[in-house]
A = this chain, B = another copy of it.
Amino acid sequence: RAYNASSSEPSKLLFRQLFENESSTYTYLLADVAHPEKPALLIDPVDRTVERDLTLVKELGLKLIYAMNTHVHADHVTGTGLIKGKVPGVKSIISKASNSKADLPVEHGDKIYFGNLFLEVRATPGHTVGCLTYVTGDGPNQPQPRMAFTGDALLVRGCGRTDFQGGSSHQLYNSIHSQIFTLPKDTLVYPAHDYKGFTVTTVGEEVLYNPRLTKDEETFKNIMENLNLEYPKMIDVAVPANMVCGLQDLMKKPSEASPC
């Protein structure tokens, strides 16, 4: 299933990584700047940095068409709802499995086109039930090496926690091994967070050096069960908000909520 028609024009990826300091979240801007409309999308925008992101989109002359989330975040409020309010026509995207409101609920195997570039949707549950990894397309005129936006599934030398939001260490282990580690070794891995100042890694590096995922499944489960992490400060605000695209007023009247 594709959300836009492909043509034979060449494509050219514009790519920007953006950081939100309070929640250590990475937001990604991608656009096909060879296409006359320069269609663009934002992955994991944060409410606090929406103005920064939209100013950049405007200065670069892009047409924002999608505001996407890899999953229902527990540590920050998504910028999706704010963006939809400010840029008419933008469609929100999240997984069907997340049980959240969105204009385009997607599932494993879907392709999301922006101009002549596309992202492949891969289901990578385990951190949450609805976690997706978005991977740049495989084919002519698609970026080489490929790029995987892994959300909180695979992080640089780490992975997302599995102790709430329907998390499962068994699922996460299998998601990463079957859906991410099977990508070409030079695939660039762009996570939703980093806390040590890394900006990117590769599949090849994580296969060799990820301290958790290089272990067998039983050891991995043990590690994940003994992290002793604190309950996330923002979870009780962020999760319900993010299930309706971060729009606080929609939250008050769920019956009136339209897809966000």
Contact = CB atoms under 8 A, between A and B. Distances in A.
Contacts of A197: 18-21, 49, 52
A198 B208 CA distance: 30
A200 B205 CA distance: 24
Interface in A123-145: none
A16 interface: yes
Given A20-B197, A197-B20, A205 B59 contact: yes
A205 B61 CA distance: 11
A199 interface: yes
Nearest to A21: B197
B200 A16 contact: yes
Nearest to A25: B197
Contacts of A60: 205
Contacts of A18: 197-199
A240 to B, nearest CB: 26
A200 to B, nearest CB: 7
A199 B59 contact: no
A196 B52 contact: yes
Contacts of A56: 198
A209 interface: yes
A60 B200 CA distance: 13
Interface string A166-205: 0000000000000000000000000000001111100001
A17 interface: yes
A20 B60 CA distance: 27
Contacts of A209: 59
Interface of A: 16-21, 49, 52, 56, 59-60, 196-200, 205, 208-209
23 contacts: A16-B199, A16-B200, A17-B199, A17-B200, A18-B197, A18-B198, A18-B199, A19-B19, A19-B197, A19-B198, A19-B199, A20-B197, A21-B21, A21-B197, A49-B197, A52-B196, A52-B197, A56-B198, A59-B205, A59-B208, A59-B209, A60-B205, A199-B199
